[in-house]
C-alpha cells in the first residue's frame, strides 16, 4: 500500500500545494486524485507567479483580456479564478462524498491588503462571488488586521483559509475569530454547516530561521515541535464546551492545516514534515516533490495523539538555547507577509510585461 494511502487512513487529508494550467490540461491533477489520495488543493501568489509568467499556457486567455483594457491585477484574478474553478470542479465529487470536509481549493486575496481589514473583507467577498464555487476557500492572512476580517467573513458565510500562522498564539487568534464568526451566525439564526475554515500553520520556515542559532542536536526540530504544540491546542479547542455547543447547531471544526511542508535542507528527508505530523482530523498540503516522495515511502511510523506532550521538553530546550519563540513567530509572520508581497509585485509586473508583448 502506498504511504499516501496510509497517511489518509490516519485521518489526515492530503492536499496539493500547487496549481498550473498544465496540471489541469494534462490530466496530472486528476491522476494524483485517483492514485495518490489527493483530496484538495492550495495556491498562493508565489505559485501563480511561476505558473503564469513561467509559461505560455495563459497567453490565449490574456490576449482578449488585454483587448478589454484590463489591468494586470484584474488579468491575474481572471486567470487564477479560471484555473481554480476547473480544480474545484475536479474535487467536487470528493466535496460531496465527504460532506464538505475535503474537496476544497483556495484563492488568496491580494497580499498588499494584509494590513487593511476593510479592503480585505471587500475583496474577499468580491472574489468569492466571482468564483461561484461552494468548495472554494478565500485565503486571508492571520495578521492582526486579518483576524477581524476573518470573523466578519465567517459571519457573512464565506469559507476561509487562514494563512500565515506560525505559532500556538497565532492559531488561537485564528480559532477565536472563527468561533466568534460562527457565534454571530448562530445568534442571527443563520445556518452554521454551510461555512467552513482551515487554519494554515507554516512549518519548515521555522527551521530555516532558527538553524543558525541552535546546536546541531536541535537544528531542524523547531517546526515539528511548534506544530505539535499547535495540534495539542487544536484538540483542546475542539473538545471544549464552547465548541460542542456550536457543533450541536451544525458547525464544522476549523481544521488545522500544515503548510510549507517541503524540506529546505537537501540533507533532510523530503517527507520529514509529513511523517512527523501525521495527525487525525488535520490537513497536510504539500508541493509536488513532497507528494511524489511520500508516494515512494514505505510507511507512516507514528500518529500524533491529542495527549502527546513531547513537544514541551523540545520547546523548553530550544528556548534555553537562546531562541525567543514568540519573537521568532511574529517575525516569521511579517517575513511571510513581505515575501508574498514581493511575489505579488513581481507577478503583477511580469503580467504587465507579458501583456505589452502580447499586445504588440
Predicted local confidence at residue 299, as pLDDT: 78
Q: What residue ranges do the domains of the chain occupy?
A: 3-359
Predicted local confidence at residue 82, as pLDDT: 97
Task: Let me know: does 6 contact 36? Beta carbons within 8 Å.
Answer: no
Predicted local confidence at residue 293, as pLDDT: 95
Given the residues 92, 125, 139, 249, select the one marked as catalytic. Answer: 139
How far apart (Å, rounded) are the C-alpha atoms in residues 187 and 285? Answer: 34
Predicted local confidence at residue 171, as pLDDT: 98
Task: Let me know: does 344 contact 112? Beta carbons within 8 Å.
Answer: yes
Predicted local confidence at residue 120, as pLDDT: 97
Q: Is 213 a known active-site residue?
A: no
Predicted local confidence at residue 20, as pLDDT: 94
The single-letter DSSP state of residue 214 is S
The correct CATH number of 3-359 out of 3.40.1030.10, 3.20.20.70, 3.30.40.10, 3.90.230.10 is 3.20.20.70
How far apart (Å, rounded) are the C-alpha atoms in residues 185 and 172? Answer: 20
How far apart (Å, rounded) are the C-alpha atoms in residues 135 and 184? Answer: 22
Positions of the chain with pLDDT lower than 50, given as ranges: none
Model pLDDT for residues 48-101, shown as the tens digit of each residue: 888 888 888 999 999 999 989 999 999 999 999 999 999 999 999 999 999 999
DSSP helix/strand/coil, 190: coil
Predicted local confidence at residue 355, as pLDDT: 83
Q: What is the pTM of this model?
A: 0.96
Model pLDDT for residues 228-256, shown as the tens digit of each residue: 999 999 999 999 999 999 999 999 999 99
How far apart (Å, rounded) are the C-alpha atoms in residues 41 and 88? Answer: 9
Which regions of the chain does DSSP assign to beta strands (E)? 12-17, 38-42, 105-108, 136-141, 160-165, 197-202, 255-259, 282-286
Task: Let me know: does 296 contact 214? Beta carbons within 8 Å.
Answer: no
Amino acid at each position: 500500500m502506498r504511504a499516501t494511502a496510509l497517511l489518509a487512513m490516519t485521518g489526515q487529508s492530503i492536499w496539493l500545494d500547487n496549481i498550473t494550467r498544465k496540471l489541469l490540461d494534462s490530466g496530472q491533477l486528476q491522476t494524483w486524485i485517483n492514485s495518490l489520495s489527493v483530496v484538495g488543493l492550495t495556491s498562493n501568489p508565489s505559485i501563480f507567479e511561476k505558473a503564469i509568467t513561467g509559461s505560455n499556457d495563459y497567453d490565449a486567455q490574456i490576449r482578449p483580456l488585454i483587448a478589454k483594457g484590463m489591468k494586470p491585477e484584474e488579468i491575474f484574478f481572471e486567470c487564477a479564478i479560471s484555473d481554480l474553478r476547473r480544480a474545484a470542479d475536479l474535487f467536487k465529487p470528493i466535496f460531496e462524498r465527504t460532506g464538505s470536509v475535503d474537496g476544497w481549493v483556495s484563492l488568496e486575496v491580494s497580499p498588499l491588503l494584509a494590513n487593511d481589514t476593510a479592503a480585505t473583507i471587500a475583496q474577499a467577498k468580491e472574489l468569492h462571488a466571482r468564483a461561484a464555487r461552494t468548495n472554494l476557500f478565500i485565503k486571508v492572512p492571520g495578521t492582526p488586521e486579518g483576524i477581524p476580517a476573518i470573523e466578519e467573513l465567517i459571519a457573512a458565510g464565506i469559507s476561509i483559509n487562514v494563512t500565515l500562522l506560525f505559532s500556538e498564539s497565532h492559531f488561537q487568534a485564528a480559532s477565536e475569530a472563527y468561533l466568534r464568526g460562527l457565534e454571530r451566525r448562530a445568534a442571527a439564526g443563520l445556518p452554521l454547516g454551510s461555512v467552513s475554515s482551515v487554519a494554515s500553520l507554516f512549518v519548515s520556515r521555522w527551521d530555516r530561521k532558527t538553524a543558525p542559532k541552535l546546536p546541531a542536536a536541535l537544528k531542524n526540530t523547531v517546526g515539528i515541535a511548534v506544530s505539535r504544540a499547535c495540534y495539542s491546542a487544536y484538540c483542546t479547542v475542539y473538545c471544549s464546551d464552547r465548541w460542542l455547543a456550536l457543533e450541536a447547531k451544525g458547525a464544522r471544526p476549523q481544521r488545522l492545516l500544515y503548510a510549507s511542508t517541503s524540506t529546505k535542507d537537501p540533507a533532510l528527508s523530503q517527507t520529514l514534515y509529513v511523517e512527523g505530523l501525521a495527525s487525525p482530523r488535520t490537513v497536510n498540503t504539500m508541493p509536488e516533490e513532497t507528494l511524489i516522495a511520500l508516494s515512494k515511502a514505505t510507511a507512516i511510523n507514528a500518529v500524533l495523539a491529542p495527549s502527546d506532550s513531547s513537544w514541551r521538553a523540545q520547546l523548553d530546550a530550544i528556548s534555553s538555547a537562546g531562541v525567543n519563540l514568540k519573537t521568532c513567530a511574529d517575525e516569521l509572520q511579517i517575513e511571510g507577509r513581505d515575501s508574498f508581497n514581493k511575489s505579488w509585485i513581481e507577478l503583477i509586473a511580469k503580467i504587465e510585461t507579458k501583456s505589452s508583448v502580447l499586445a504588440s
